[in-house]
Amino acid sequence: MTGIVKVGSGIGMFIMPIVVNWLIFSRGWRTSYIIMGIIALVFVISIAQLLRRDPEQMRQLPDGEEKANAGSLNLADWGLSLREAIRTRQFLVICGIYFAILFCAQALAVHIVPHAMDLEISPTNAANVLAAIGGISIVGRFVMGSAGDRIGHKLA
């Protein structure tokens, strides 16, 4: 399941360079930014409506809980507060790892098209280079997500 969920961002990276390239050539870059902002806003608001915080909101039990304890509303069962959680070492390590990964990925995404154009590749083909990276990442996300599902969420 994790692989299928993570493939979505790879699909976006595959489709969006082509769409943005077409928008820029047909509407200009200023209008394209506005259109992309509106599309992003609509998607974020739509997807946010599907989010659920707790298993109880989906009529499920939290991991490891028996049915007898399911009705408990004791706040101590919820774990750390937000302020306590963001000060833990584990949270900071996870944030650091995500920062490093996303920094590298974004640096590549931002600079690959201008670099390709510096190598005298047409803007359309330069956008296709970024789309190809997105297409390859779809396979990697699916494979690694499936591997994470097989390993289990505790070890992965």
Which structural domain, as residue segments, surrounds residue 44? 2-48+85-151
- In angstroms, the Cα distances linking 95 to 45, 88, 92, 101 are 24, 11, 5, 10
CA–CA gap between residue 127 and residue 26 (Å, rounded) = 15
d(Cα 5, Cα 8) in Å, to the nearest integer? Answer: 6
| 78 in a structural domain | no
| 23 within some domain | yes
In a domain, 43, yes or no: yes
pTM above 0.75, yes or no: no
- 62-79, pLDDT tens digit by residue? 666 666 554 555 555 567
Please, which pLDDT band fits residue 149 given cuts at 50, 70 and 90? confident
Residue 63 forms part of a structural domain = no
Q: Is residue 76 part of a domain?
A: no
Please indicate, yes or no, if residue 144 is contained in any of the structural domains: yes
pLDDT of residue 46: 92
The answer to the question of residue 117 being in a domain is yes
Q: How many domains does the chain have?
A: 1
> pLDDT tens for residues 92-126?
999 999 999 989 988 988 899 899 999 999 999 99
Q: Is residue 10 part of a domain?
A: yes
